[in-house]
Amino acid sequence: MASIDGALLDLKRLDRLAAGGSAVHRLDPRTKLLTTLAFMVTVVSFGRYEISALIPFFIFPAVLIGLGDLPVAYLLRKVALVCPFALLVGIFNPIFDRAVALHLGPLAITGGWISCASIVVRAALTVSAAVILVAVTGFPAICRAMEALGMPKAFAVQLLFLYRYLFVLTEEGGRASRARELRSFGKKGRGIASYGSLLGHLLLRTWLRAERIHMAMLARGFSGAFRASNHSRFGAPDLLFLAGWSVFFATLRLHNAAQLLGSLVTGLFK
C-alpha cells in the first residue's frame, strides 16, 4: 500500500515541477521536445566503444537542471532506477568480446567492458534527458507538442488518457489493497490466492469508473480532443534554444571534446 501511494505522489511531483516559471518552462513544448530528440539521436549514434566522447553531453542535462531549478537528488534517483536494467543488457558483453582494447597500467581492459560502460552512460544520458523534459514541460504538453509535430491525434489522446487516469487506477488499487489488509487477520486472507479476487474486483471497479468518467466527459462536451488552457507560440527564444543546442550536439558528435581537452591539458604540462 505504501509503495502504491509513493508511486502516485512521485508522479504528482513531476506535475508540480512542470508548473514552474523559469525560462526553460516558458519555452514552447515543441522546442524542448525537438531539442531532446536531437540530443537522444546524437547520443545513441555513437559507436559501442565510445565513452570519452559521451562525457561532454552531460552538459545538456546539467544546464537544464540549473535553469529549471530542478531537484538534483530527485532526478538522480529516477536515473538510478534505470541504470541497473542498462547494466543487465551490457553485462554479458565482456563474455563475448574479450579482445583487449587498452591497458591501465597492469590492468587489461577488454572491449566488452568498454561497450558495457558505454551502454550504461548512454542510458543515463537519455533517461535523464527524458525525465528533465517531463519535469520542465509536463506530459500533457508533450503529447500536444507531438500532435502538433505530426503524431496521429488518436494516439496523442490515448497517451493523455493513459497518463491522466493512471492516477485514478492507482487510487482504486490503493483502496482495494487497504480494504484487503483491514479484512485480514494475521496471515489469513493475505496469501497469493486472495490476489485473484482482488484483481477481479479492481477490474470491475475500473470498468464501472470508466463508464462514469466517459458519461461525465460527454456531458461536458468532450469531442475527442483535450483543449489546452494556454497556447504557446514558437518564437525567437525557441528558435535560438533549438538551433544553439543542435549546433552544440553536432559539434560534440564530430569532435571528441574530452579527448581534445585532455590533449590540451597534457600539452600544457609538457
Per-residue model confidence as pLDDT tens digits over 37-88: 999 999 999 988 888 889 999 999 999 999 999 999 888 888 888 888 888 8
pLDDT at 94: 82
Residues spanned by the domain of 100? 19-137+234-259
Tell me the range of 6-10, 61-65, 157-161 where mean pLDDT is highest.
61-65
* Residue 204 domain-assigned (yes or no): no
Q: Do residues 118 and 101 touch, judged by C-beta distance below 8 A?
A: no
* Residue 203 domain-assigned (yes or no): no
* Residue 111 domain-assigned (yes or no): yes
Residue 2 has pLDDT above 50, yes or no: no
Q: Which of the pair, 251 or 140, is modelled with greater confidence?
A: 251
- Comparing CA positions, the residue from 263, 7, 259, 20 lying closest to residue 141 is 20
Tell me the range of 4-13, 76-85, 96-105 where mean pLDDT is highest.
76-85
C-alpha to C-alpha distance for 10 and 17, rounded to whole angstroms: 11
User: What CA–CA distances, in Å, run from 79 to 72, 124, 262?
Assistant: 11, 6, 28
* Residue 97 domain-assigned (yes or no): yes
* Residue 202 domain-assigned (yes or no): no
Residue 1 has pLDDT above 50, yes or no: no
The number of distinct structural domains making up the chain is: 1
Residue 123 has pLDDT above 50, yes or no: yes
**Mean of the pLDDT values across residues 152-171?**
78
* Residue 181 domain-assigned (yes or no): no
* Residue 79 domain-assigned (yes or no): yes
C-alpha grid cell, residue 132: 528533465
Q: Which residues of 197-213 are buried (b: 16+ CB within 10 A; e: fewer)?
A: eeeeebeeebeeeeeee
Residues of the chain with pLDDT > 90, as a percent, come to: 25
pTM: 0.79
C-alpha to C-alpha distance for 222 and 225, rounded to whole angstroms: 7
* Residue 179 domain-assigned (yes or no): no
**Averaged pLDDT of the chain:** 81
Predicted confidence band of residue 230 (pLDDT cuts 50, 70, 90): low
